[in-house]
Structure 1
Amino acid sequence: MPFATTDDGVKLSHQIRGSGPPLLLLQGQANNHHWWDPVRADFAAAYRTITFDYRGTGASDKPDEPYTTRGFAADALAVLDELGVERARVYGTSMGGRVAQWLAADHPRRVEALVLGCSSPGGAHGVERGNDVRRSLAQPDRAAAERALLELMYTPAWLATHPGPHHTVGDPGMPAYARRRHLAASAGHDAWAALPAITAPTLVVHGTDDVFNPAANAPLLAGRIPGAELRLIQGARHAYFEEFREVASPLVLEFLAGAPRG
């Protein structure tokens, strides 16, 4: 199993599928690379898709120390360096979109094109989920809380015909401390001041019915990043890329194919 080693000695498991120009795929909070399994083939047909398990997830090391989205971006850069990738297209969803913001802002020469899915600028300018959503996820009945999470990700109609397993609801092998570290990293994200520094052609995608990471964040991102495009997928919740795959994947692929090459 291939690993990249960061400057602080953490080993990160990474995975390659497909061939062609490099495309880095960044998953959501407390998830490993399997987040992308349902749709990865859509991108691996045209790109050398690159994923890695964030520290704290999958086969990567799991140090019990503070994590940040900016730190995860540095980890992503370590993976690209290990693979000899100078420039890559980057597609981040959920917390992966937060990580991608830092990667594009801090290392503009490394990002050829950027897609931010169901993401947020964070901080004082980000739109937080409502207290009703927080309560639904914090209820003591674990089965009820897990069902609430699924219904934030997918519509009930889709869940009725797709019983799982679902790859977007967390890495089951994560230690509890690592889950807390991931939650803190995502909650602490604030890239508002850095967003205007992003120079890569950028597409912002969001489901109109996403209340897990409210859809109101999408126009905030698109308005803050110079020249960014905004596309909303009607009726989609947080996992728009999977449930609305037939719309979302072609949309992203068309953007990536048309983005100017630096």
Structure 2
Amino acid sequence: MGGGGGAPLSTARGHRDRRPARGGRARRGGPARGRGHAAGRGRGSVRYVTATDGTLIAYDRFGRRDGPPLLLVQGLGTDSRGWALQRIALGRRYRCLAVDNRGVGGSTNAPHPFDLEQMARDVVSVLDAEEVAAAHVLGASMGGAIGQILAVRHGERVRGLVLACTACRHHEWRRELLAEWAAAVRTRGMSAMSGDGMRWLVGPRFHRRFGPWINLLGRLVLQGEPEHFAAQVDAILALSDDVRFELAGVDAPTLVITGSQDMLTPFGDAEELAEMIPGARLRELRGAAHGLMVEQPNAFNRSVLEFLADVDARAAIR
């Protein structure tokens, strides 16, 4: 949700950490420890990699085996199934690696607390396990914050960057809102997010069309355990706003996508983010809110594909 976790990103562009992560090679099947329910989802090739701190990270591999690699990182409380409406469109062209962030899906054996710096190292472990030197990165909301950290800390691993419904710093009202969400799920469970919380995620147009199903959608998307959801909130709130000063060093071609009705990360956040990254493009989807990849999947997918195709074409003629 537009933010991140961990220490301030004070690493200068010329001093990125270029050491490979210590993650092991990917393996199929369920994890050796933890909840381990990801392998039973029946949703493609789910694999596991050991992160730098020993946590098992699950990810779903789908799409063209010979396509350019595309790493997908979802937002708060959402696992890789949050990309359901992108699977076919993106998978036709790309070798997709959709990560379950620690705390959701098949990556629920992570010790608390953790931060977004560690979560960025998790996705590097996935790239290492897949022997991918550099990939396009698509991050949504909290995943967009992870994408920013990845582009700053490990810029050589990022070919093209798409940041959706995210921000490069916090506002006090958003800090208070996220803290309220964490408190609510700790006391009432994840059902606390299926009502009022969903009103922050989808816009009025989507509500008019699917109103009776909104709460069900919330329960389907946000299926994690309350303590893991709250730990992700803590990670988001822990990131210093100084991250935005590091974005001037990002040299990956970047697209920032926002919805015109996004209340959680409004247009001003996207505009600031695009201004901070040299040469970044800004795309607004009219009528969409924070869940723009669900509300307007065709427009979202088209924007991503057109941008990445342009990045690939420019790289091919260099």
Q: What TM-score results when the alignment is normalised by the length of structure 2?
A: 0.74
Aligned to 1:8: 53
Aligned to 2:196: 148
Q: Does structure 2 conserve the Cα–Cα contact (< 8 Å) formed by 1:4 and 1:12?
A: yes
Aligned to 2:152: 105
Distance 1:224 1:258, change over 3 A: same
Q: Does structure 1 conserve the Cα–Cα contact (< 8 Å) formed by 2:73 and 2:100?
A: no
- 1:206-259 per-position Cα deviation (integer Å, ceiling 9, x unaligned): 112111222211011111111111111122110111111222110111001001
The one-letter code of the counterpart of 1:39 is Q
Q: Secondary structure at the match of 1:129?
A: helix
1:181 paired with 2:226, answer no
Q: Secondary structure at the match of 1:204?
A: strand
Q: CA deviation at 1:87?
A: 0.9
Count residues with an aligned counterpart: 259
Aligned to 1:17: 62
Q: Does structure 2 conserve the Cα–Cα contact (< 8 Å) formed by 1:115 and 1:203?
A: yes
1:27 paired with 2:27, answer no
Q: CA deviation at 1:40?
A: 2.0
Structure of greater Rg: 2
Q: Secondary structure at the match of 2:194?
A: helix
Alignment gaps of 5+ in structure 1: none
Q: Does structure 2 conserve the Cα–Cα contact (< 8 Å) formed by 1:64 and 1:177?
A: no
Aligned to 2:248: 196
1:245 paired with 2:297, answer yes
Q: Secondary structure at the match of 1:55?
A: coil
**Percent identity over paired residues:** 31
Q: Does structure 1 conserve the Cα–Cα contact (< 8 Å) formed by 2:56 and 2:110?
A: no
Aligned to 1:62: 109
Alignment gaps of 5+ in structure 2: 1-28, 30-46
Distance 1:182 1:159, change over 3 A: same
1:171 paired with 2:222, answer yes
Question: Take 1:94 and 1:187, find their aligned partners in 2: how far apart are those partners?
Answer: 13
- 1:188-209 per-position Cα deviation (integer Å, ceiling 9, x unaligned): 2332122111110001111121
Q: Does structure 2 conserve the Cα–Cα contact (< 8 Å) formed by 1:207 and 1:215?
A: yes
Q: Secondary structure at the match of 2:96?
A: strand
Pairwise CA RMSD = 2.6
Question: Take 2:248 and 2:154, find their aligned partners in 1: how far apart are those partners?
Answer: 13
Q: Secondary structure at the match of 2:139?
A: strand
Distance 1:131 1:215, change over 3 A: farther
The one-letter code of the counterpart of 1:210 is D
Distance 1:199 1:151, change over 3 A: same
Aligned pairs for 1:89-100 (under 5 A) are 89-100=136-147
Q: Secondary structure at the match of 2:88?
A: helix
Runs of 4+ with >3 A deviation: 126-145, 159-162, 167-171
Question: Take 2:182 and 2:110, find their aligned partners in 1: how far apart are those partners?
Answer: 26
